[in-house]
Amino acid sequence: MKRKLRYAIYCRVSMEDKQTNENQRPPLIKYAKQNKWDYKVFQETESSRKIRPVKEELLKKLWAREFDGLLIYKLDRWARTVKEHVLEIQELVESGIHFVSLKDNVDLTTSSGKLQFHILGAFSEFEREQIRERTLDGLERAKRQGKSLGRPTGSEDSKPRKTEGYFKREANKRQKVRRVK
């Protein structure tokens, strides 16, 4: 008897208070059920460009072969740069992990899926760079107009800042330094 494939489902939003995984999770679960996969959902609800603790945990589980595959909603939910896409996903695929991007219709077991993956990754990075350039242009315009940028001196946030991300980043930095030494 053939065993069911076990898939990790990864959902990510950048800001918990402004976005929700509810647009991603239901169609991913439906797809996994249609394919008769066992699955576990991993949800990143607040991330930054460099820190994504849920993704890091998931990658460790994938490397340990706890899952046969990875199912994501769109490529831009997994990685933000072409380099990140190519390196991480190529390593996963080469180690035998199946990779499916639902909305992008990418199946990396085919040559056309691999080509589409690289093209979509390039467009994702292009879009991110466009947003960055527009933001920098807006900041430059505001400076020229004499506007004060950033938080006013002496102001405080209206909500308390989370500290667990800071502590995790610092611990990771110390760990990397120890490995190098």
Concatenated DSSP letters for 141-164?
A: HHHHTTPPPSSPTT---SSPPP-H
Task: Check whether 7 has a pLDDT greater than 60.
Answer: yes
- 11 burial via Cβ count (<10 Å: 0-12, 13-18, 19+): buried
44 part of a folded domain? yes
Beta bridge partners of 9: 41, 71
pLDDT at 50: 67
Q: What is the mean pLDDT of residues 40-44?
A: 92
Residue 76 belongs to some domain of the structure: yes
3-state secondary structure of 13: coil
Q: Which of 117, 114, 9 is nearest to 67 (CA)?
A: 9
127, part of any domain? no
Residue 161 reports pLDDT greater than 70: no
How does the average pLDDT of the chain come out, rounded?
A: 81
| Rounded average pLDDT over 130-154 | 86
Q: Please tell me the pTM assigned to this model.
A: 0.63
- For residue 63, what is the domain's CATH number? 3.40.50.1390
Active site residues: 14
Give how many domains the chain has, as a whole number: 1
